[in-house]
Copies of this chain bind each other. A is one copy, B any other.
Amino acid sequence: MCHVQGAVLSKRVAWPNARRRASRSLPLIYRRRALSHPSYIRNRLTSSYERLEFLGDALLDFLITAHIFEQHQNLNPGELTDLRSALVNNVTFASYTVKLGLQKYLCSQFNPVLDSAIINFVEYQMQRNHVMTEDVLYLIDEEDCKIAEYVEVPKVLSDIFEALAGAIYLDSGGDAAAVWRVYYSIMRRELTEFAANVPWQPVRLLFENIHACPVFGDCPIFFMKNFYQPHVKWQHVSYVKPVWRCRKAQKVDEDIPRMMVPVTVTKAGVQYTVHGFGRNKAQAKRAAAKLALKMLNL
């Protein structure tokens, strides 16, 4: 049993379980505050969700940490960190927001870019039947380094998930156990499934291989529009530019900037450089690390 599950649950915060009940039993003042985007100037009664998000962010991190610490004595510290990273991140939290339909209650000023990003992510999650993945939706296939799907995840969606945790905490008089009861019921499935098969963090794993001497390089930006999908060969010795080859003439029709990160690793005394791609540096670094681990047969 988790250490934080000790207090009596306040009836007022016996909140979700069923999607339709989401955000019903919180008092109006907390609900409005937790769901008001900073742009929503029509809300003159409360401040925006930012302060609640600040609190809820740290609270959820602690509750999930305490839970996995308690429940998974068999996991080593590295696995615990990986498990927490898979559970506590903007993509996972945004996915829960969409699964519960909380984005419908978000109050924000009209912003076509934000609205379109939210709609895209909601549609994407509905198509996938609200399945949860790791924190990177930019999937990279190690076989031929193909650029798979990328869907932007608006941070506002994870912000309100965190802000609502902060709101429940305040409403329950600072009862972390009350928050955990609510959030445990939402996250129960992933808490079990991710723990059974911990999503590993490739960058950390790569650095743990001290004999591979991994060195990440600089990160150039380029645009994918009208480019054919690249096939990047593993390069022998660093400082060699990647080879671009048309594979299946599969056009990438997005005009979004991509980052490329090279990583040089040593295998049996020989240096190899592989390249990873992503929307941002972290994603590109992760992709590069995955390729490097595969090359090292790890």
Contact = CB atoms under 8 A, between A and B. Distances in A.
A91 B80 CA distance: 24
Interface in A4-38: 4, 6
Contacts of A257: none
A169 interface: yes
A55 B51 contact: no
Interface residues of A, number: 29
Contact of A55 (B6, B53, B65): B65
Contacts of A50: 76-77
A58 B54 contact: no
Contacts of A77: 50-51, 53-54
A65 B54 contact: yes
Copies of this protein in the complex: 2
Main secondary structure of the interface of A (DSSP, over half): helix
Contacts of A173: 3
A61 interface: yes
Contact of A59 (B6, B62, B76, B170): B62
Given A6-B174, A218-B218, 9 more contacts: A2-B174, A3-B170, A3-B173, A3-B174, A51-B77, A55-B65, A58-B62, A59-B65, A176-B176
30 contacts: A2-B174, A3-B173, A4-B174, A4-B176, A6-B174, A50-B76, A51-B69, A51-B77, A51-B80, A53-B77, A54-B65, A54-B69, A54-B77, A54-B81, A54-B84, A55-B65, A55-B66, A55-B69, A57-B65, A58-B61, A58-B62, A58-B65, A58-B66, A59-B65, A61-B61, A62-B62, A66-B174, A176-B176, A218-B218, A218-B219
Interface of A: 2-4, 6, 50-51, 53-55, 57-59, 61-62, 65-66, 69, 76-77, 80-81, 84, 169-170, 173-174, 176, 218-219
